[in-house]
Amino acid sequence: MAARGCGGAWRRGWQRGRTLPGPAPGPFPRGQRVVACNARGGAVPAGKSGLAPWVPVVGLEIHAQISSNSKLFSGSQVQFAAPPNSLVSFFDASLPGTLPVLNRRCVEAAVMTGLALNCSINKKSLFDRKHYFYADLPAGYQITQQRVPIAVNGSLSYSLCIDNKMSQMVTKTVRIKQIQLEQDSGKSLHDDTRSQTLVDLNRAGVGLMEVVMEPDMCCGEEAAAAVRELQLILQTLGSSQAVMAEGQLRVDANVSVHHPGEPYGVRTEVKNINSIRFLAKAVDYEIQRQIEELENGGTILNETRAFDSKLGCTVPMRDKEGKQDYRFMPEPNLPPLILYDAKSLPANMNHQQVINIDWIHERLPDLPSVKREKLVEQYGILPEHSFALLNEDGLAEFYENVVKQTRMKPKRVIGWVLNDLLSYLKQHSLTVKESPVSSFLLADLLNLLEKKEISSTAAKQVLAELWKGEGKTPLEIVKEQKLQLLQDQKELEQICQAVIDRQENE
């Protein structure tokens, strides 16, 4: 496959599945890079020779669990692992006579997220009921925001590497259609042997932000990069911890293909994607499947498919038969949600009942893109370095701490942090927090190197020793292993002479 863009045939690219060399500190998934998109626009790969090229179209629906103590409409606790049905209130279980009461923190989380994604915040938004039957939805409907959601018309910028070398990054933007508040459902555990489903309602009623991304993406890599950036933003804001493995961030992909100039093709929805890596795989597989189907004269059904991570393919989902009619209706128990700004702030209202968009805006933390720019400006490192720093939890702080404690130039320190330290961490599957080498120790080591007391090679040796975490200081290790650079001219001469003598004797 061509290094730049999508020069090769789509099919060829899929079969070859190139691997990124070395550790991949970028914001995109490691491992198989199946498809690359044309940096200038949508991917336009050639199909079988002679046939017109295909333009894949990818949109995403992302559900992020709101990081809050209690649920969206009730006071039961939000917690990942707990005894079944122990975090469930009467309202969550849909017992008659219970009513929803909106959690202020959830509204604030949605406003923060909307502002961070450049959305217009709707000062008046409404709640609706979406009806469908499922064992983990005790009420028979989900309270959501279908007509007028809390935030609309935003954008998210993310970066991709054009080639495998990570030296050229391109920025892309995806439009955010809307963000809405809605309830999560309970969990179903399927027991096929006894032909039954076990239902745990601990998750029922937890607040979700659904972020809808317009179909501006064209391949798995773009989708993965966009979701990764969204994940970082949510974590920076604190509105969601967005850990996919714990179900705090769920992604459904909408995929279709069409020929350039023709209308969009029929789209399928792909669910059951459990990691950012699988997202890229699932999207690319589905694009390929649709192209093959259409090139063989078949048609694409507007269906929902599940991604099978073991087989690396998508399969039709059993339970989704036919088009669903959700019979949306306004939620009669909740008046409209009114938000205020500095201008419209009501004079006589209880502060606790008022949410001020401007107040929230002023207190937004620096978003990842801003943090990256500041790192580049402050330390003179490359954009791809700042990407790598922010891509690993705690690494940016680690780097800044090392820089503060050493006289070595930040541009030189970055190599040690990204190449040496990070690769050790990755090899041993450790987080920055778990690193046996603290920023203090690394700074200490780099100071020895900076003062030319040891060579670069010796420094790597010391680092390997430090990694064992035996509590020795860099200086102690240097002395133990006699790694000091000799400065004494006479001593050097003696050693050289001894080597020459030995050679002559052999």
Of the candidates 20, 46, 52, 102, which one interacts with another protein according to CB under 8 A? 102
Q: Is 271 in the site for another protein (CB under 8 A)?
A: no
Of the candidates 101, 170, 495, 500, which one interacts with another protein according to CB under 8 A? 101
Q: Is 206 in the site for another protein (CB under 8 A)?
A: no
Q: For another protein, give the closer residue by CB, 304 or 391.
A: 304
Of the candidates 93, 162, 266, 376, which one interacts with another protein according to CB under 8 A? 93
Instruction: Sketch the per residue contact string, 301 through 340, with another protein: x for CB under 8 A, - otherwise.
Output: -----------------xx-x---x-x--x-x-xxxxx--
Question: Shortest approach of another protein to residue 185 CB, angstroms?
Answer: 13
Q: Is 351 in the site for another protein (CB under 8 A)?
A: no
Q: Look up residue 314 and give its two tokens.
A: 């998508």
Q: For another protein, give the closer residue by CB, 18 or 320.
A: 320
- Quickly list DSSP for 165-214: TS--EEEEEEEEEEEEEEEPP-EEEEETTTTEEEEEGGGTT-EEEEEEEE
Q: What would the 3-class secondary structure string for 425-470 be?
A: HHHCCCCHHHCCCCHHHHHHHHHHHHCCCCCHHHHHHHHHHHHCCC
Print burial letters for 244-278: b (CB count within 10 Å at least 16), e (below 16).
Answer: beeebbbbbbbbbbbeeeeeebebbbbbbbebbbb
Q: Is 378 in the site for another protein (CB under 8 A)?
A: no
Instruction: State whether the Cα torsion 65-217-259-285 is positive or negative.
Output: negative
Q: Cβ of 360: how many Cβ atoms within 10 Å?
A: 19
Of the candidates 103, 159, 183, 314, which one interacts with another protein according to CB under 8 A? 103
Q: In this structure, are residues 220 and 84 in contact, taking their beta carbons and an 8 Å threshold?
A: no
Question: Shortest approach of another protein to residue 47 CB, angstroms?
Answer: 38
Of the candidates 184, 200, 221, 444, which one interacts with another protein according to CB under 8 A? 200
* Count of residues interacting with another protein (CB under 8 A): 56
Question: Shortest approach of another protein to residue 221 CB, angstroms?
Answer: 35
Strand pairing class (304-308; 268-273): parallel
Of the candidates 21, 96, 133, 263, which one interacts with another protein according to CB under 8 A? 133
Q: Is 88 in the site for another protein (CB under 8 A)?
A: yes
Q: In this structure, are residues 278 and 312 in contact, taking their beta carbons and an 8 Å threshold?
A: no
Of the candidates 39, 126, 169, 266, which one interacts with another protein according to CB under 8 A? 126
Question: Shortest approach of another protein to residue 88 CB, angstroms?
Answer: 6
Dist. CA 308–CA 287, nearest whole Å:
15
Question: Shortest approach of another protein to residue 366 CB, angstroms?
Answer: 24
Instruction: Sketch the per residue contact string, 160 through 189, with another protein: x for CB under 8 A, - otherwise.
Output: ----------------------------xx
Q: What would the 3-class secondary structure string for 341-395 be?
A: CCCCCCCCCCHHHCCEHHHHHHCCCCCHHHHHHHHHHHHCCCHHHHHHHHHCCCH
Q: In this structure, are residues 396 and 390 in contact, taking their beta carbons and an 8 Å threshold?
A: yes
Of the candidates 83, 96, 97, 261, which one interacts with another protein according to CB under 8 A? 83
| Residues near another protein (CB under 8 A) | 68-70, 74-77, 83-91, 93, 101-107, 126, 131, 133-135, 188-192, 195-201, 318-319, 321, 325, 327, 330, 332, 334-338, 352-353, 355
